[in-house]
Structure 1
Amino acid sequence: MIEIPKLSKPAGEDKAPRWFHVAVALSMLLSAGAALVSALKTSATMQALVEQNARLVKAGSTPILQYYAANINASDKSELQLAVENVGTGPARVVWLEMRYDGKLLRSSHALPAEVARTQQLSVPKDAHVYTRSGSIAGDVLTPGRRQMLFSWRGEDVQDKQVEALYKAVDRERGRMSVAGCYCSVFDECWETDFGPDLPKPVQRCEREGHVSVNGG
């Protein structure tokens, strides 16, 4: 039988001191801790980037509706115009839009001249021709930069003196018109607005029930 010789530890070689093992363990623990902190910071940074990107996307898709009123058209001709324009950066889905004159709800903007005639006590013959135009907006989607006409009355269509007096009265009374509405973005973020100086009010959703949109929208 062949015996394998046993290797013996050289004489005088002692075990590593205890503090050395403790130092090695602490070093490994610190390295693991540093790696964990680095991973957490990286995760927090990525999360912040994701949230920032989401905010940028929403900011780039936020609609802002403005009420527009004028008495001259793009050709510098006399024309009474009432419209709503999307001046934001994203599409606006209009759920409802109400129009009032002197506090009275108008189901159609075609009724505006008659209401002005009534309040201003103007006499307009029944056979007088009042060529107004109107458009609906409720339920529509306004892309950025798009303007939707709600009411239009061209001065060149006024051929009667009494109708001309009414035309001028409607022009003067534009300041007594008020418009309110509710619209949403593509992310279903919704706002109510009275088109005044204050910012639109964020709401959970736009409720169409209980509102009568102008022009039958």
Structure 2
Amino acid sequence: MEHESHHHHHAPKTGVRWLDLGLGLSAGVVSLVSLWLGLHSAHSMEKLVAANSYPYLELMRSNISTVRMPDSDRMRQTVTYFFENNGIGPARIEWVQFNFKGKPMRDMNDLIEACCSMAGSDLRAIDTRGNVVNALVRPGTSVPMFTWNEPSTPNPAFYALLKQMNDITFSACYCSVFDECYVRSDDDRKPQPVEQCTPPAVTFRPGFHPKGA
């Protein structure tokens, strides 16, 4: 019986040992460079995609209104706190913290009690959002936390809040759709990147909540 012979293909050699070794090393270097370029290109593409979805959340407050008071030429003042996304990707709010004179507030009850006399004050006019946590703020849009229009009948709590707005500071942590997270304070020039949004001991819920809730 005849057996088929098996031919093994080897890389061509020049017959010059040092030249063959150099060619082999060159091929290895080219392979490594190609691999590095591929990985670098993939990483650059990931960064480009992330940059094209970068959220830039602004922490905003206002006490200006263009609406006139009833039976008066005076403009009605409005206290408003809200988030505005001026980035190019959506922002998912993870937590919010409000401080009055450095003390964290749990909700509107805490805030109004701390800044203003609630005795005889009608707080039903405060338009609040129950919770902004997990709210998705699309690019070019805003999410209000609370708005309080100046009442037609003088309200001491409103004017106390208006007067002490500079004593209120707030911060928030938010993430992009790729879970790249940032902490932003109302006095920061830009968001600070963090690995994750670990909430502080006391976070703020904009609505009115029963004690202990």
- What is the TM-score of this pair, normalised by structure 1? 0.69
Gaps in structure 1 of 5+ consecutive residues: 1-20, 119-123
**Structure 2: how far apart are the matches of 1:169 and 1:60?**
43
Aligned residue in 1 for 2:94: 95
Q: Deviations over 1:100-132 (max 9, x none)?
A: 2223333323654453324xxxxx762646511
Which of residues 193, 196, 201 in structure 2 aligns to 1:205? 196
Which of residues 125, 128, 132 in structure 1 aligns to 2:126? 132
**Aligned partners of 1:191 and 1:201 also within 8 Å:** yes
Rg (Cα) greater in structure: 1
**Structure 2: how far apart are the matches of 1:133 and 1:110?**
13
Task: Report percent identity of matched pairs.
Answer: 23
Tell me the matched-pair count: 187
Aligned residue in 2 for 1:160: 153
Q: CA deviation at 1:153?
A: 1.3
* 2:41 corresponds to 1:49: yes
Q: Deviations over 1:43-82 (max 9, x none)?
A: 2222211111111111222323221011125779632211
Distance 1:56 1:71, change over 3 A: same
Distance 1:127 1:188, change over 3 A: closer
**Structure 2: how far apart are the matches of 1:35 and 1:129?**
77
**Aligned partners of 1:193 and 1:200 also within 8 Å:** yes
Which of residues 46, 53, 63 in structure 2 aligns to 1:61? 53
**Structure 1: how far apart are the matches of 2:121 and 2:46?**
59
> For residue 145 of structure 1, what is the amino acid of its counterpart?
G
Q: Deviations over 1:191-216 (max 9, x none)?
A: 33333225444333223473333226
**Structure 2: how far apart are the matches of 1:94 and 1:128?**
30
**Aligned partners of 1:96 and 1:211 also within 8 Å:** no
**Aligned partners of 2:60 and 2:186 also within 8 Å:** no
> For residue 140 of structure 1, what is the amino acid of its counterpart?
A
**Structure 1: how far apart are the matches of 2:166 and 2:31?**
61
> For residue 173 of structure 2, what is the amino acid of its counterpart?
C
**Structure 2: how far apart are the matches of 1:132 and 1:104?**
22
**Aligned partners of 1:71 and 1:171 also within 8 Å:** yes
Aligned residue in 2 for 1:79: 78
Q: CA deviation at 1:97?
A: 0.8
> For residue 86 of structure 2, what is the amino acid of its counterpart?
V
Q: CA deviation at 1:170?
A: 2.3
> For residue 153 of structure 2, what is the amino acid of its counterpart?
D
Which of residues 161, 166, 170 in structure 2 aligns to 1:170? 161
> For residue 171 of structure 1, what is the amino acid of its counterpart?
L
SS at match of 1:90: coil
SS at match of 1:159: coil
**Structure 1: how far apart are the matches of 2:177 and 2:123?**
42
Aligned residue in 2 for 1:147: 142
Distance 1:214 1:74, change over 3 A: farther
**Structure 1: how far apart are the matches of 2:157 and 2:66?**
23
> For residue 165 of structure 2, what is the amino acid of its counterpart?
R
**Structure 1: how far apart are the matches of 2:28 and 2:142?**
55
SS at match of 1:100: strand
